[in-house]
Amino acid sequence: MSYNESHYDFLNSFSNVPVELVGDLLSITELKTIAEGTHIVKLGEIPTKVYFLVSGVLRCFLMTESGKEFNKGFYLPLSFAGPLAALIQKKPSLFAFEALTDIEVYEIDYYKLMDLCEKHESINKLYAKVLETVYMSYEKRLVELISLNATDRYLELKQQLPDVDELIPQYHIASYLGITPVQLSRIRKKLE
């Protein structure tokens, strides 16, 4: 499989990966187009893959025993996604990942990536930098949930994804914000 230069440049924005190692990365990677509504990771599944989102919108959610869904996050193009704790512990995922639109992803075999990290310092540095970035985004999300009111959380989401209202159903946005769809509707009306 060939690779996209801009995606290679994006990886190198984290850490320098020599061109000669691109083949090693591609050998554990598959570029996939996935239809809207498809779960790339299912609840309770023991995952083996991580994903690099190229296009579309992906959501991560958990479900209570009563069947209520809570959106943990939305992923936008040029981001990494996957149930990291489940991968590290080789345990069933507490989260599901669903395509909210048609998406294109590089599906990466996590355990083969770990093997490459052991063999190549530059790939290990790339992995560490990606983990740092993912952790910082989780930390930012936690700070938003604790310190911002629902209106400000909505405005922050709209700043990150200006056409969020056209791309993502209202009930998913409300769940992500930690409010009801009715509360979201009121916020939208107040902002108009």
Q: Rounded to 5 degrees, what are φ and ψ at 40? A: -85, -20
How far, in Å, CA of 120 to CA of 176, rounded? Answer: 38
Task: Indicate if 98 and 190 belong to the same structural domain.
Answer: no
Reported as a single tens digit per residue, the pLDDT across 2-59 is 556 777 777 777 777 888 888 898 899 999 999 999 999 999 999 999 999 999 999 9
Reported as a single tens digit per residue, the pLDDT across 52-99 is 999 999 999 999 889 889 999 999 888 999 999 999 999 999 999 999
Residue 1 has pLDDT above 60, yes or no: no
Q: Compute CA 51 distance to the chain's CA centroid, rounded to the nearest angstrom.
A: 8
Task: Indicate if 124 and 155 belong to the same structural domain.
Answer: no
User: Do 83 and 41 touch, CB atoms closer than 8 A?
Assistant: yes
Does some domain include residue 140? no
Task: Indicate if 176 and 121 belong to the same structural domain.
Answer: no
* pLDDT score for 132: 93
Number of domains forming the structure of the chain? 2
Does some domain include residue 143? no
Domain closes at, from 84, 100, 133: 133
Reported as a single tens digit per residue, the pLDDT across 89-140 is 999 999 999 999 999 999 999 999 999 999 999 999 999 999 999 899 889 9
> For residue 154, which of 180, 184, 192, 182 has the smallest C-alpha distance?
184
The strand pairing partners of 79, in sequence order, are: 53
Does some domain include residue 142? no
Task: Indicate if 75 and 123 belong to the same structural domain.
Answer: yes
Task: Indicate if 10 and 90 belong to the same structural domain.
Answer: yes
How far, in Å, CA of 131 to CA of 20, rounded? Answer: 23
* pLDDT score for 50: 96
Task: Indicate if 153 and 64 belong to the same structural domain.
Answer: no
Domain containing residue 48: 5-133
